[in-house]
Amino acid sequence: MSEAMMLGLGGFVVLVALIAVRMPIAYAMMLVGAIGTMIINGPTLVLSQLKTLAYGQFSVYDLSVVPMFVLMGAIASKTGLSKALFRAANAWLGWLPGGTAMAAIAGCAGFGAVCGSSLATASTMGKVALPELRRYNYSGALATGTLAAGGVLGILIPPSVVLIIYSIIVEANIVTMFMAAFIPGILAVILFLLTIAIYVAIYPEAGPKGGMPERREFTEATVGMIPVLIIFGLVIGGIYAGLFNPTPAAAVGVALVIIFGFIQRTLDWTSMREALLETASTTGMIYLILLGAELLKIFMSRSGLPQEAALWVASSGLAPMMILVLLLVALIVLGCLMDSLSMILLVIPFFWPVLVEVNGGIYQMADGAGYGMSTEDLKVWFGILALIVVELGLITPPVGMNVFVISSLAKDVPMIETFKGVLPFFGAEIVRISLLVAFPAIALWLPHALQ
């Protein structure tokens, strides 16, 4: 192993240690990347890169979609869309055993379609659905576990900020990634609803039936969901239909959410100011992490560590499918230690070369011969897989950010109960990952059909 590679490996260990002691990951990646590159090539190279690196990163047109979708989600969380979604879902599903929990999942999916953030989805829907779940005496584990798990739907169902960042990293088409995420997102909703149905079949007292709504109440609730369908249809449907690219689509979404908020009188200038400040803060954090990731990528590429790791894995003698499984397990473990965006930025530069090396042997023909996907299909399929695995980190200890968000809303429910409540949904996610590994067409069919 060369000195540069040893330095790259040491840098990675230092990076994990800095993250473990709670240094912000953006600063940790900047520090390790800059110092590592200085050691290999001297300070002049780093200084010359810093002159243009930030501008080169942040002036990319595709990246302008991030603050727009963040703003759409920030405004949507203040307009009452979440209440309308949950009310409609509860009118349709609340009369079933576990129906109010099912309504919370459906509401999370709907809100995720106009938000794109897992934490925002969990927090917003938690405030709306938790009082109703308590009113019907749902068990603490099922109520909080459902809301924590439902929050993860915000990260996959388009639009998704993390999916956009992944697309930029691997140079995949954002529209194609949005298309690929649609069916896996719907599959997650179906599996979560089945999980609740099975749970309440085993523990009936955990999720009592709600009342059957009157016809007038049912109609009003259903009509109240129409604005969300219009926003989702124009934004995501417009992208799928090729009417506009993601950035103008996000601008359309922001305008529609603002109009809805002012018509419903749930949005005022104070809320607008709060949404703008929240957007600026979140976008600044994302851009800073992107800059740190770029500095780290420069250091790692000059050390040769990712390329050598890919060659070592390819020559290890392990079956390609086993290598894929190990990569996914590593993503699950790392997801327990850091947030989703940071993990995508940190590990994809390492995992992508490995996946390309073993691509030709992941799937086996009847005669034992291997075949691989095209590079574009591989980017799309692995991106969806990686994003689903990243979701698991949001509901697994010790980080489990969604669990912490819901626990802050349900202070009377011990956190251990919430972690117990998300376990069945964790199992549902494992089933979804297995289906996507076994049948890549789940992610690839819609992009191919629409193109």
pLDDT digits (tens, 9 = 90+) for 52-102: 888 887 887 778 888 988 898 888 888 878 888 898 999 999 889 999 999
**Whether 393 contacts 334, CB under 8 Å:** yes
Average pLDDT over residues 334-346: 75
**Whether 86 contacts 128, CB under 8 Å:** yes
The pLDDT of residue 221: 86
**Whether 149 contacts 412, CB under 8 Å:** no
User: Which range is least confidently modeled, 26-30, 167-171, 317-321?
Assistant: 317-321
If pLDDT is split at 50, 70 and 90, which confidence band does 198 have? Answer: very high
User: Whole domain around residue 200: which residue ranges?
Assistant: 63-282
d(CA 112, CA 98): 21
Q: Which of 133, 68, 137 is nearest to 107 (CA)?
A: 133
User: Is 215 within a domain?
Assistant: yes
**Does position 392 have pLDDT exceeding 60, yes or no?**
yes
C-alpha of 260 from chain center: 26
> Per residue in 123-148, pLDDT tens?
888 988 999 899 889 999 999 999 99
Between the ranges 27-36, 191-200, 276-285, 377-386, where is the mean pLDDT highest? 191-200
The pLDDT of residue 370: 45
If pLDDT is split at 50, 70 and 90, which confidence band does 368 have? Answer: very low
User: Is 418 within a domain?
Assistant: no
d(CA 3, CA 16): 20
Indicate the SS3 state at residue 139: coil
d(CA 404, CA 377): 36
d(CA 389, CA 326): 12
If pLDDT is split at 50, 70 and 90, which confidence band does 116 have? Answer: confident
d(CA 228, CA 225): 6
Tell me how far apart the terminal alpha carbons of the chain are, to the nearest angstrom. 45
If pLDDT is split at 50, 70 and 90, which confidence band does 426 have? Answer: very high
**Does position 313 have pLDDT exceeding 80, yes or no?**
no
Percent of the chain clearing pLDDT 90 (strictly above): 25
d(CA 302, CA 213): 64
Q: Which of 149, 183, 212, 171 is nearest to 430 (CA)?
A: 149
**Considering the entire predicted model, what is its pTM?**
0.86
**3-state secondary structure string across 251-278:** HHHHHHHHHHHHHHCCCCHHHHHHHHHH
What secondary structure letter does DSSP report for 41? H
Q: What angle do CA 390, 103, 384 make, to 5 degrees?
A: 25
**Whether 370 contacts 167, CB under 8 Å:** no
Using left for φ > 0, alpha for ψ between -120 and 50, and beta otherwise, residue 97 falls in beta
The pLDDT of residue 147: 93
**Whether 441 contacts 377, CB under 8 Å:** no
User: Is 355 within a domain?
Assistant: no
If pLDDT is split at 50, 70 and 90, which confidence band does 290 have? Answer: confident
From the CA atom positions of the chain, what is the Rg in Å?
22
User: Is 13 within a domain?
Assistant: no
Of all helices (H) and strands (E), which one includes residue 371? Answer: strand 370-371
d(CA 333, CA 352): 18
The pLDDT of residue 371: 47
d(CA 362, CA 323): 9
**Whether 405 contacts 418, CB under 8 Å:** no
User: Is 393 within a domain?
Assistant: no
User: Which range is least confidently modeled, 254-263, 347-356, 410-419?
Assistant: 347-356
User: Is 93 within a domain?
Assistant: yes
d(CA 184, CA 181): 6
d(CA 27, CA 287): 12
User: Is 411 within a domain?
Assistant: no
The pLDDT of residue 42: 85
Q: How many residues make up the chain in this entry?
A: 451
Dihedral sign, CA of 307, 309, 312, 316? negative
Q: Please provide the average confidence, as pLDDT, over all residues in the chain.
A: 85
Distances (CA, A) of 451 to 159, 180, 440: 19, 12, 17
User: Is 83 within a domain?
Assistant: yes
Q: Which of 65, 192, 191, 218 is nearest to 125 (CA)?
A: 192
- Number of folded domains in the chain? 1
User: Cβ of 91: how many Cβ atoms within 10 Å?
Assistant: 23
C-alpha of 95 from chain center: 31
Residue with tokens 């397990």: 329
Q: Which of 296, 416, 311 is nearest to 36 (CA)?
A: 296
